[in-house]
Amino acid sequence: MKKMLLAIGVITLLIAFAVTGCRIGKEEKHKFTEDRIEEVGEDIWADLSKAKVGVCIYRFSDNYMTLFRREIESYLVGLGFTKENIMIVDSADSEVVQDRQVRAFIDQGVDALIINPVDPSDVSDITNLAVEADIPLIYINREPEAEEEVRWEDNKWDVSYVGCDARQSGTIQGKIIADLGIENIDLNGDGVIQYIIVEGDPGNADTLYRSEYCIKALDDAGLQSECVFKGYADWEREKAEELVSEALKGGVEAEVIFCNNDAMALGTLSAIEKAGMRAGKDIQIVGVDALTDVLIAVQEGQIAGTVFNNYIQQSHSAVDALITYLSNETNPHYIGCDYVAVTPSNVQTIIESLAR
Ligand code: GAL
Kindly report the CATH number assigned to the domain that includes residue 22: 3.40.50.2300
**76 belongs to a structural domain:** yes
Domain extent for 172: 167-308
C-beta of 235 in contact with ligand 1 (< 6 A): yes
Q: What angle (nearest 5°) sits at the alpha carbon of residue 272, between those of residues 170 and 164?
A: 20
**353 belongs to a structural domain:** no
Q: How far apart are CA 228 and CA 28, in angstroms?
A: 60
Would you say the C-alpha torsion 147, 153, 158, 163 has a positive or negative sign?
A: positive
**343 belongs to a structural domain:** no
Range of lowest pLDDT (27-31, 47-51, 203-207)? 27-31
Closest atom of ligand 1 to 201 CA is 12
Structurally, how many domains does the chain consist of? 2
pLDDT value at residue 35:
63
Q: Quick one: 54 and 129 in the same domain?
A: yes
Q: How far apart are CA 43 and CA 271, in angstroms?
A: 57
C-beta of 306 in contact with ligand 1 (< 6 A): no
Q: Quick one: 322 and 291 in the same domain?
A: no
**342 belongs to a structural domain:** no
**345 belongs to a structural domain:** no
Q: Quick one: 154 and 118 in the same domain?
A: yes
Give 326's pLDDT tier (boundaries 50, 70, 90).
confident
Q: Quick one: 126 and 250 in the same domain?
A: no
**2 belongs to a structural domain:** no
260 Cα: distance to centroid of ligand 1 (angstroms): 8
pLDDT value at residue 250:
98
Is residue 161 over pLDDT 60? yes
pLDDT tens column, 54-72: 999 999 999 999 999 999 9
Q: How far apart are CA 187 and CA 253, in angstroms?
A: 11
Of the candidates 349, 347, 320, 338, which has an alpha carbon nearest to the alpha carbon of residue 11?
Answer: 320
Could you give the C-alpha distances from 11 to 66, 76, 163, 230, in angstroms and in order?
25, 16, 21, 44
C-beta of 91 in contact with ligand 1 (< 6 A): no
pLDDT value at residue 351:
96
| Residues 130 and 106 sit within 8 Å (Cβ to Cβ) | yes
**299 belongs to a structural domain:** yes
The SS3 assignment for 219 reads helix
pTM (two decimals): 0.89
Q: What is the mean pLDDT of the chain?
A: 90
Is residue 118 over pLDDT 70? yes
Could you give the C-alpha distances from 320 to 78, 102, 129, 138, 218, in angstroms and in order?
12, 21, 22, 10, 37
Q: How far apart are CA 118 and CA 97, in angstroms?
A: 9
Give 124's pLDDT tier (boundaries 50, 70, 90).
very high
